[in-house]
Amino acid sequence: MPDFYGTVAEADAYHAARANAAWAGDEVGKQAALIRASVYIDGRYRKLLASGVWQSLFPGVKTEGRGQAREWPRTGAYDYEGNPIPADQVPVEVEQATYEAALREIVEPGSLSPDFVSASMVKREKVGPLETEYAVSVGADAAGSVRPVISIIDEMIAPVLVARYTLPAVFTV
């Protein structure tokens, strides 16, 4: 299985069609950006359930099981319209979302998954007579607040996501 979704050639064509001049560099740099982008895509679309178990927001299961590094390809997957996705295919939505994420990684490596160090957060800052106090997240949500949410990637990948509900829930019919 490849370490990343898509290919460098397809990423080049994708960004050329969109006049993304920032998609530049040698083959090795682009591959590294695609690897980091693929890791972001896989991690961004997982949810920690109340039971403490992580669950993918992608439908189906990994085709090759636990030995498969990436979340795709998947067996039993379908899109939001109910169309089956072949067990040997990575959806175009996932590949194109990866190209968008890789663009951000080419421009600023590591930007998709920054380290979070709560001790380095500034709560109050005073410069001369001016003083500013910032809203600060605390607890488990604090670490999640530093990972970027990129709307275009969420919108592109939405057709191949499934809703996962945390129980207990109340449904009215």
Whether residues 140 and 78 fall in one domain: no
Same domain, 39 and 2: yes
- pTM value surpassing 0.85: no
Residue 120 has pLDDT above 70, yes or no: no
φ, ψ of residue 18 to 5 degrees: the values are -105, 5
Domain that holds residue 127: 114-147
Q: How far is CA 98 from CA 42, 89, 102, 119, 166, in A?
A: 10, 15, 6, 32, 27
Do 80 and 143 belong together in one domain?
no
Asked if 85 and 134 sit in the same domain, the reply is: no
pLDDT at 142: 46
Domain check: are 86 and 22 in the same one?
Answer: yes
Strand segments (E) across 25-148 = 46-48, 54-56, 61-62, 74-75, 77-78, 84-85, 124-127, 130-133
Please determine, for residue 96, whether its predicted confidence score (pLDDT) is greater than 70.
yes
Question: For position 124, what pLDDT does the model report?
Answer: 72
| Residue 49: per-residue pLDDT | 87
Q: In this structure, are 102 and 119 located in the same domain?
A: no
Tell me, yes or no, whether 129 and 165 share the same domain: no
64 burial (CB, 10 Å; 0-12 / 13-18 / 19+) is: middle
The answer on 167 and 84 residing in a single domain is yes
- Nearest-angstrom CA–CA distance, 167 and 55: 14
Please name the residue that has the structure tokens 């945390």. 166
**Do 14 and 95 have their domain in common?**
yes
Domain count, the chain: 2
Q: Give the relative orientation of helices 92-107 and 27-44 as an angle to the nearest 10 degrees.
A: 120
Residues 5 and 38 in one domain: yes
Do 102 and 173 share a structural domain?
yes
In this prediction, residue 118 has a pLDDT band, given cuts at 50, 70 and 90, of low
